[in-house]
Amino acid sequence: MTIRTIPMFDYAEILGRTLAPETLLETLRAYGYFYLSGLDAAVPPRLFKSLKENAETFFASPMGAKLEYYIGHSSNHRGYVPTSEKGAYSDETARVYEAFDIGHDVAWPGARDGRDYRLIGPNRYPTHVPGMAETLEAYYAANFRIGTQILRLIARGSRLAEDHFDRYTTRPASQLRMIHYLPNDVVVGADDVSMGAHTDYELFTIIHQASPGLAAFDRKTQTWGAMPVFKNTLLVLAGDMLEFLTGGVVRALLHRVVSTGEERYSFPFFMNLDFETEVSILPVYGKSEQRVVVGQHLLGRLCRDFPYLRARIDEGRWRIDFDLQGQEFQIPGQERRAQS
Ligand SMILES: O=C(O)CCC(=O)C(=O)O
Ligand SMILES: [Fe+2]
């Protein structure tokens, strides 16, 4: 038997500034994740509860009602994602999840600097689920506040002013997903997954899992380990942008969702910078000419995940002025793993 230490911080340590920024960064470096407890003031237990209740009600509604909010009919990538919207993951044995996606809710401001991502704009909510808009907006705002606190610690730990990133999170490319894994009878083995192995595309992901299923890859032992679920806690996973900013000191956590046949709900919030933010390695981690634009990296990745987006771009309905395939970034001294 292996005994595993689980990194867990109390959110009060972050708000009260008793958690050293170096400790947070060292934890992300060593584990790629940490749990956050003590969230009652930041995310009241009744908000977690109504989030799940809204998800249950929405996903239980007739397919016709859900498809009225189909993401493929949205002009800014918001709404319902059916199980058929299958991404290019060769290890997804049984894709049995559906989702509902929202983002930063803002009136469409039009293209800026000629960069027209079409991922920006207002959210769209089903009118037949009472309270869903209020709950999701409140949950999004709570996660964004928590994400901002974590990002400020990361800034301090990287020898930057605490508010360094604040100016880049005015219209963040941060999405929130409600995910519903359907109960199913597909016979599975220990390695069968319903969401294929991937890293998340943003700075970090703040996940609330209602039940187990998430597994993370431990680079040291080269094994997959289950991520336990603790009531009213959040799990924070390092993503691609943090790996890029830290020059690979913090690696994005490779993770996947194992098939169990059981119904499951999960709510990831992907903390990101503004779409047009051009990022480079932070000075304390080294020097490189390489630049990545947050929205371009995100869109490049989303095109792998969403056939409807690929079709729109391939058919010229969404014109983009950059190379979608060229969004793979290189970390100096590290070979980029092959994406499945
Ligand atoms: O279902 C989960 O717990 C994780 C979902 C996930 O990894 C994702 O949406 O990127
Ligand atoms: Fe993920």
pLDDT in tens, 63-102: 999 999 999 999 999 999 999 998 888 887 777 899 999 9
Pairing of strands 33-37, 8-10: parallel
Task: Specify the ligand 1 atom closest to the Cα of 177.
Answer: 9
ipTM of the complex: 0.99
Model pTM score: 0.95
Atom of ligand 1 nearest to the CA of 255: 7
**Nearest ligand, CA 268:** 1
Give the mean pLDDT of 162-177. Answer: 96
Residues 6+ away with beta carbon under 8 Å from 232 = 37, 39, 40, 43, 45, 48
- pLDDT, mean of residues 180-209: 87
Could you tell which of 35, 143, 214, 217 is best to mutate to test the pocket of ligand 1, judged by most ligand atoms within 8 Å of the CB? Answer: 214
Task: Name 98's bridge partners.
Answer: 180
How far is Cα 12 from Cα 113, in angstroms, rounded to an integer?
Answer: 40
pLDDT at residue 326 tops 90: no
- Note whether 2 and 186 are within 8 A (CB): no
pLDDT of residue 248: 95
Which residues does a 6 A CB cutoff place in the pocket of ligand 1?
177, 179, 195, 200, 207, 209, 214, 255, 257, 266, 268
| All residues with CB under 5 Å from ion ligand 2 | 200
Predicted pLDDT of residue 151: 98
Q: Is the pLDDT of residue 333 over 60?
A: no
Q: Which residues contact 17 (CB under 8 A, 6 or more apart)?
A: none
| pLDDT for position 96 | 87
pLDDT band with cut points at 50, 70 and 90 for residue 338: very low
Higher pLDDT, 59 or 300: 59
The full DSSP string for 174-189 is -EEEEEEEPP------
- Strand segments, DSSP code E, in the chain are 8-10, 33-37, 79-81, 97-102, 175-181, 193-198, 204-209, 214-218, 223-226, 234-238, 255-258, 264-271, 278-279, 292-293
Query: Which residues, 6+ apart, have CB-to-CB distance to 38 below 8 Å?
Result: 10, 11, 12, 13
pLDDT band at 184 (very low <50, low <70, confident <90, very high): confident
Q: Mind spelling out the 3-state secondary structure of 294-313?
A: HHHHHHHHHHHHCHHHHHHH
Is the pLDDT assigned to residue 229 strictly greater than 80?
yes
Which ligand 1 atom sits nearest the alpha carbon of residue 181?
A: 1
Spatial distance between the Cα atoms of 150 and 17, rounded to a whole number of angstroms: 11
Read off the pLDDT band of 339 (50, 70, 90): very low
Per-residue confidence (pLDDT) for residue 232, from 0 to 100 = 86
Asked whether 194 and 97 are in contact (CB, 8 A), the reply is: yes
Ligand closest to Cα of 98 equals 1
Q: Which fold has domain 8-326?
A: Jelly Rolls (2.60.120)
| Residue 244 predicted with pLDDT over 90 | yes
Q: How far is Cα 98 from Cα 180, in angstroms, rounded to an integer?
A: 5
What is the signed CA dihedral for 59, 64, 66, 69, rounded to 10 degrees?
Answer: 180
Domain boundaries along the sequence of the chain: 8-326
Q: What is d(CA 103, CA 302) in angstroms, rounded to the nearest whole number?
A: 14
CA of 268 to the centre of ligand 1 (A): 6
Burial code (b: 16+ CB inside 10 Å, e: under 16) for 110-135 equals eeeeeebbbbbbbbbbbeebeebbeb
Nearest atom (ligand 1) to Cα of 205:
10
Is pLDDT above 70 for 197? yes
